[in-house]
Amino acid sequence: MIFGLGTDIIHVPRVESALARTDGLKQTLFTPREIAYCESRGKSAQHFAARFAAKEAFLKAMGTGWRDGYRFNEIEILNDELGKPEAVVHGEVKKYCDEKRIARVHVSLSHTQDLAKAVVILEVISP
């Protein structure tokens, strides 16, 4: 059963500019594995922006937004061996997902030179 649906779209140059001008922002928003992945790709700003959009979409799907102590780097967007994006949660976000019995997370990412978009669906275990 669907618990929540979230979507977000962001301007890639905005993310690129923010990461370039703010020391430590990358580590605040992203995990070491996300940083390594994005920096290994051409046009890394597009990959950072897509992951940022996915984190925003995830929080929207939770229905909480960015409050209650949830941190962006507690939502980790990785790719499986075939390149499909998946979310791994940590910390307070994991605790929330466990309490709400969220069993599956569906993530879709897309980006162009200027825009990055994400959709997240949270699925709960049926009682």
pLDDT at 127: 64
Comparing CA positions, the residue from 18, 90, 78 lying closest to residue 54 is 78
CATH number at residue 100: 3.90.470.20
Q: Which of 55, 90, 100, 111 is catalytic?
A: 111
Domains contained in the chain, number: 1
Which residues lie closer than 8 Å to 112 by C-beta, 6 or more apart?
12, 46
What is the average pLDDT across 34-63? 95
List the domain range (segments joined by +) for residue 43.
2-124
Joined tokens for residue 56: 């925003």
| pLDDT greater than 80 at residue 69 | no
Residue 60 annotated in active site: yes
Catalytic residue among 26, 43, 55, 60: 60
Tokens standing for residue 97: 């997902």
Residue 80 burial (CB count, 10 A): 8
Is-catalytic flag, 94? no
Q: What would the pLDDT profile of 11-38 be if each residue is shown by its tens digit?
A: 999 999 999 999 899 999 999 999 999 9
Beta bridge partners of 107: 120
CA distance 19 to 6: 24
